[in-house]
Amino acid sequence: MAVVPFEVVSQHRCFGGTVGYYKHDAASTACSMKFAVFTPPQAQSGRVPVLYYLAGLTCTEETFMIKAGAQRVAAELGIMLVAPDTSPRGVKLPGDTDSWDFGVGAGFYVDATVEPWSRHYRMYTYVTQELRALIEAQFPADTARTGIFGHSMGGHGALTIALRNPERYRSVSAFAPIAAPKQSPWGQKAFSGYLGPDRGQWSQYDATELVAGVKDAASRPPILIDQGLSDQFLQTQLHPHLFEEACRKVGYPLQLRHHEGYDHSYYFISSFVQDHLVHHARILGA
């Protein structure tokens, strides 16, 4: 397999494995990109399942590794965790830092088609092709056992990527995803800016519309979604009920769990991250 160059920023021993932070020059985004990897102790003797985590608005490649508390369970299950950054950085596009929900930290896991964003904001291709190729070339990842999950904007990304690439992502879950972004102010702002005014072009990145078009829904692996009922964004931005209804209509197996008192924070994620890792391990055969 071809050698894909990258630079080690730092590495830290953790639960018998290693948390590493890395960077590399990415062709898809035409800039330097950072990512984090937890390599479990089982990787010392062979390839292990790999689970990609996509973070939400304003987050970086560090957020999940620092806040979610996932490494202990991942070490027990023998699962590699990979967390990319949430957008290109340092490319200095006009207006890219004017608001927290668009531009830097808010790539929305789409391939932008509108200038100047289309030059760099190609996070869909970065996550699904370039980063994955790097991980599979340079880390002991089992390419046949790959899953994806995420939070909020990253939950949106995980759902859309898995629904569009079922042969490449065998398992999927999400924490409080933006489940119907075409009907969400966050999604409408991002899609208008990155993809332009043609709402038809937005559908390829809307999980609710994507699942509604799945023909073999009943045979797909189940989706797990956890949603806090005290989430301040539940009613205005997330709309999990729309995704749930679309799944029901096509017979897509979905477990949508509601949790009283939980909000949108990493306190919520850390409370249920073990359930998500077990969900993926069961499907991936970890």
- Annotated catalytic residues are 152, 231, 264
Contact status, residue 66 vs residue 273, Cβ threshold 8 Å: no
The 3-state DSSP composition of the chain as helix, strand, coil percent (nearest 5) reads: 40, 25, 35
DSSP 8-state class, residue 233: T
DSSP 3-state assignment of 97?
coil
- The whole-angstrom separation of Cα 49 and Cα 285 is 8
Dump strand ranges (E) for 206-247.
Answer: 223-228
Q: How many CB atoms lie within 10 A of CB 90?
A: 9
Task: Enumerate the β-bridge partners of residue 122.
Answer: 111
* Contacts (Cβ under 8 Å, ≥6 apart) of 242: 179, 180, 183, 208
Distance CA 127, CA 267 (A): 26
C-alpha–C-alpha distance, residues 64 and 151, integer Å = 10
- CA gap 226, 156 in Å, rounded: 13
Distance CA 168, CA 197 (A): 30
